[in-house]
Structure 1
Amino acid sequence: MGWLGKAIGGLAGWALGGPLGAILGAAAGHLYDSATSKPSFRFRCPRCNRELTASGMGVHICPHCSTEFELLNCPHCGSGLVAPLGTPSAVLICPYCGGDVVLADAASRMAYRRMVGALAFFALAGKLAKIDGRVSEQEIEVVSRFMDDIGMDRESKEVAKQIFREAKRSPHDYREIALQFKDEFRGEPQMARVLIDFLIAIAYADGVYSEAERGMIEELVALFGLTRSEYESLLAAYDPKAELGRYYEILGVPPDATDEQIKARHRELVKSFHPDALSSKGLAPELLEFANQRLQEINLAYQKIMEARGR
Structure 2
Amino acid sequence: MFKFIGVIAGFLLFGFFGSILGYIVGAIIDRARALGAGGMNPLTNALRQGVFLETVFLLMGKLAKADGQISQIEIDHVEQFIQKLGMTTDHRTQAIRWFNKGADPAFEIEPTCKRFMSICGQTRDLKQVLLVYLIVIALADGHFHPVEEALLTEVARYLGYDQAAFKQLMDMVLNQSRFGSQQTNPAEALDDAYKALGVTKENTDQEIKRAYRKLMSQYHPDKLMGQGMPEDMIAVATEQAKEIQLAYDLIKKNRNI
Q: Distance in 2 between matches of 1:132 and 1:257?
A: 38
Match of 1:238 among 155, 172, 177: 177
Q: Deviations over 1:149-206 (max 9, x none)?
A: x342342333312211122237341232122212211231111111111111111111
Q: Deviations over 1:89-143 (max 9, x none)?
A: 758xxxxxxxxxxxxx922221111001110011110111111113345532221
**Richer in strand (by share):** 1
Gaps (5+ residues) in structure 1? 1-86, 92-104
Structure 1 segments (4+ residues) deviating >6 Å: none
Q: Which amino acid aligns with 1:153?
A: M
1:193 has 2:128 as partner? yes
- Kept in 2: contact 1:247–1:305 (CA 8 A): yes
1:256 has 2:202 as partner? yes
- Kept in 2: contact 1:233–1:251 (CA 8 A): yes
Gaps (5+ residues) in structure 2? 1-27, 33-39
- Kept in 2: contact 1:126–1:165 (CA 8 A): yes
Q: Distance in 2 between matches of 1:179 and 1:303?
A: 38
Following superposition, the deviation at residue 263 of structure 1 comes to 0.5
**Count of residue pairs the alignment pairs up:** 211
Counterpart of 1:296? 242
Q: Distance in 1 between matches of 2:131 and 2:145?
A: 16
Q: Distance in 2 between matches of 1:90 and 1:258?
A: 45
1:213 has 2:148 as partner? yes
Q: Which amino acid aligns with 1:272?
A: Q
- Kept in 1: contact 2:101–2:107 (CA 8 A): no
- Kept in 2: contact 1:189–1:224 (CA 8 A): no
Q: Distance in 1 between matches of 2:197 and 2:239?
A: 15
Counterpart of 1:132? 67
Q: Distance in 2 between matches of 1:174 and 1:216?
A: 9
Counterpart of 2:25? none
Q: Which has the higher contact order (CA 8 A, sep 6+)?
A: 2
- Kept in 2: contact 1:221–1:231 (CA 8 A): no
Give the TM-score normalised by the residue count of structure 2: 0.74
SS for the counterpart of 1:237 is helix
* Residues 134 and 88 (structure 1), Cα distance of their counterparts in 2 relative to 1, 3 Å cut: farther
Q: Which amino acid aligns with 2:240?
A: R
SS for the counterpart of 1:238 is helix
Match of 1:106 among 41, 50, 57: 41
Q: Distance in 2 between matches of 1:214 and 1:273?
A: 23
Q: Deviations over 1:259-300 (max 9, x none)?
A: 000011111111111111010010112211111111111111
Match of 1:117 among 15, 31, 52: 52
- Kept in 2: contact 1:248–1:254 (CA 8 A): yes
Q: Distance in 1 between matches of 2:29 and 2:203?
A: 46
Q: Distance in 2 between matches of 1:235 and 1:181?
A: 24
Q: Distance in 2 between matches of 1:229 and 1:142?
A: 25
Counterpart of 1:287? 233
- Higher CA-based Rg: 2
* Residues 243 and 137 (structure 1), Cα distance of their counterparts in 2 relative to 1, 3 Å cut: closer
Counterpart of 2:87? 153
Q: Distance in 1 between matches of 2:81 and 2:117?
A: 24
Counterpart of 1:67? none
- Kept in 1: contact 2:61–2:103 (CA 8 A): yes
1:176 has 2:111 as partner? yes
Identity percentage of aligned residues = 27
- Kept in 2: contact 1:244–1:305 (CA 8 A): yes
- Which piece of structure 1 moves more, 269-278 or 106-115? 106-115
